[in-house]
Amino acid sequence: MPKHAFRNVMATSFALVGTFALSLTGGTAHASTSLDYVALGDSYSAGSGVLPVDLTNLLCLRSTANYPHVIAARTDARLKDVTCGAAQTKDFTESQYPGVPPQTNALGADTDLVTLTIGGNDNGTFINALTACGTAGVLSGGKGSPCKDKYGTSFTDQIDANTYPALKAALRTVRAKAPNARVAVLGYPWITPAEADPSCFAKLPVAAGDVPYVRGIQAHLNAVVERAGEETGATYVDFSQVSEGHDACKPGGTRWIEPLLFGSSLVPVHPNALGERRMAEHTMSVLGLS
């Protein structure tokens, strides 16, 4: 047999063997199955306050134990983590800090998976509501609903008027930058219980009548996040059921969110390490990632 003919036969044989081997693994080589994963979002995605801190960018107070890192480790994904504490929707397309590029710059046509939490910092929703209601709670000695009485629907009105359209615009930018990616937008796990817990006032000084009011603000934000996700083709990861009973009023080892006072995290009212792991696990479950 001529040498060139022999080489052709061998090349064909190796190709057939390779095809057979791929068929045994579902038609895809293991080396090519790793997801190109980009994590976007605010401090709930960055894991701000959870140790160890990512030393590559201290401004963003990002943890290497945040839920994106947990997902990447368990799925063998190639992670590009650009999450940043205090991020707002505008920081998807603008520089949040000097030297910190817009988050969506990390996306591309080769991105397979995107996860994010965003919206809680727009209008200062979380910080303003908790500060206002915490102050009102202290002044009232924990009685009544002074925060609700003073602010009424102002927080939810701002969410509807400003956060909702900003969320849609941000998610559309994500889709445009990563047209082939599966996008998962996560809701925020519960910060407060459904009803006041008198033993929690020292840790989360919100008046008894304002506890459901604060929770209602968070529920409204999550509903808007879900709606914006659905309208832009993203998968919404709902924590309303799985985070029930793991709010900031629960004891250590049970709570996913640290309280405002006397917590164990560097950043109060944010997920702890357990919360970040549970966020990762529920997201993987919703997305069908193994």
Q: For residue 259, say if its preceding peptide bond is cis, omega within 30 degrees of 0.
A: no
Using only C-alpha atoms, what is the Rg of the chain?
A: 23
Please confirm, yes or no, whether 43 is among the known catalytic residues: yes
The CA–CA distances, whole Å, from 201 to 99, 151, 171, 180 equal 40, 20, 37, 47
For residue 257, what is the DSSP state? B
Structure tokens at 256: 């996913």
User: For this structure, is 220 an active site residue?
Assistant: no
Please pick, among 23, 43, 154, 246, the residue that the annotation labels catalytic: 43
Catalytic residue among 69, 220, 246, 270: 270
Q: Find all residues with CB under 8 Å of 21, minimum gap 6, and list them.
A: none
Q: Which residues pair with 182 in a beta bridge?
A: 113
Contact 268, 259 (CB under 8 A): yes
Contacts of 141 (CB under 8 A, 6+ apart): none
Catalytic site residues?
43, 270
